[in-house]
């Protein structure tokens, strides 16, 4: 694993710094972690909430859909939000296949990225997504295996977020960048394919949950139209949360009734938050 990325990692058992080589990582207390053949390190302790990990099929669908460029405007907005990042590693929490982080790193020569996710299928891809990216399996709901203040930027794109931990790993001068869908996201597909609807108050809830730890600095609306053929429509369903709830036969026949290609709206917000400065504990 890349030395510069290892320098941001902390032991998930005791919080000490991790060091190592291509074979594995260890902390001073002797906790050891293997690096998988595919290049990611497993820093998951216990069983974690692995029930929400993207499956192999979801990851394959995501690779194809993102690789076709359908969400490029989202990657562009994330890249713009990271353009002035202070020195240091960029950490993507719930990074999936590392697609967006790779795009951000392309625009920041010499910078390193760390992809965190609970899905080993996703991280097999992330570990190879960019020569300056490392990948570690962990649970976003538990203490993150990242040193305090080690992240110049923390990204969180359609993924779970645990505000106190995002705050802890972010450098005091760093920025948290969150991408979240609006209620208009995939609006043409939601009723036609009986997909999960994004709540109208999702953004308000995200802001409220982050509020004790972060203040909103800037928000951009990213809305665009995609021309999706039936394969791409099946892919966007298969890679998202509706994949857990949809009957494959019903989905296939509902997709067959749609125009091919179909104009589908993508609608997300990309928000930049400053960390609230906290007084040290007495
Ligand atoms: C909708 S996908 C988004 C992936 C990526 N950010 C992207 O936009 O392509 C959500 C990701 O969160 C991951 N995830 C779900 N639960 C998690 C958890 N408890 N800890 C860490 N990652 C988790 C999934 O494995 C999946 O890769
Ligand atoms: Zn340790």
In tens, the pLDDT along 58-88 reads 999 999 999 999 999 999 999 999 999 888 9
pLDDT above 90 as % of the chain: 88
**Ligand 2: centre distance to CA 275 (Å):** 27
CA distance 281 to 217: 26
CA distance 277 to 168: 11
**Substitution candidate for ligand 1 out of 44, 53, 77 with most atoms within 8 A of CB:** 53
User: What phi and psi, each to the nearest 5 degrees, are found at residue 280?
Assistant: -60, 150
What CA–CA distances, in Å, run from 140 to 92, 127, 156? 11, 18, 11
Domain made up of 3-275: CATH architecture: 3-Layer(aba) Sandwich (3.40)
**Ligand 2: centre distance to CA 31 (Å):** 5
Question: Does the CB atom of residue 162 touch ligand 1 within 6 A?
Answer: no
* Tokens 């110049």 -> residue: 152
Structure tokens at 50: 């692995």
Question: Does the CB atom of residue 157 touch ligand 1 within 6 A?
Answer: yes
3-state secondary structure of 103: helix
pLDDT score of 4: 87
Ligand at shortest distance from the CA of 19: 2
What DSSP character marks residue 17? Answer: B
**Ligand 2: centre distance to CA 32 (Å):** 8
Ligand at shortest distance from the CA of 143: 1
3-state secondary structure of 61: helix
Question: Does the CB atom of residue 102 touch ligand 1 within 6 A?
Answer: no
**Ligand 2: centre distance to CA 18 (Å):** 8
Q: Is 282 a residue whose pLDDT tops 60?
A: no
pLDDT score of 115: 98
Q: What is the pLDDT of residues 113-168, one digit of tens each?
A: 999 999 999 999 999 999 999 999 999 999 999 999 999 999 999 999 999 999 99
């Amino acid at each position: 694993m890349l030395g510069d990325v290892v320098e941001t990692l902390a032991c998930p058992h005791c919080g000490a710094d991790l060091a190592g080589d291509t074979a594995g990582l260890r902390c001073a207390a002797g906790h050891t972690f293997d690096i998988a053949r595919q290049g990611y390190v497993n820093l998951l302790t216990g069983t974690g909430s692995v029930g929400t990990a993207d499956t192999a099929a979801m990851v394959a669908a995501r690779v194809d859909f993102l690789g076709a460029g359908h969400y490029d405007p989202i990657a562009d907005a994330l890249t713009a939000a990271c353009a002035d990042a202070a020195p240091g590693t960029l950490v993507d929490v719930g990074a999936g296949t590392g697609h967006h982080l790779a795009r951000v790193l392309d625009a920041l020569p010499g910078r390193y990225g760390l992809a965190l996710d609970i899905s080993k299928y996703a991280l097999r891809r992330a570990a190879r997504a960019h020569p300056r990216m490392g990948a570690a399996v962990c649970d976003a709901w538990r203490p993150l295996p990242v040193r305090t203040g080690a992240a110049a930027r923390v990204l969180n794109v359609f993924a779970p977020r645990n505000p106190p931990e995002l705050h802890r790993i972010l450098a005091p001068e760093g920025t948290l960048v969150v991408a979240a869908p609006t209620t208009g996201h995939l609006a043409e597909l939601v009723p036609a394919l009986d997909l999960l609807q994004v709540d109208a108050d999702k953004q308000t809830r995200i802001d409220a949950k982050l509020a004790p730890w972060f203040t909103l600095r800037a928000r951009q609306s990213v809305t665009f139209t995609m021309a999706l053929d039936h394969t791409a429509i099946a892919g966007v369903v298969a890679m998202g949360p509706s994949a857990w709830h949809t009957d494959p036969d019903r989905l296939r026949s509902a997709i067959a009734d749609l125009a091919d290609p179909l104009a589908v709206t993508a609608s997300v917000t990309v928000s930049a938050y400053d960390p609230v400065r906290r007084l040290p504990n007495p």
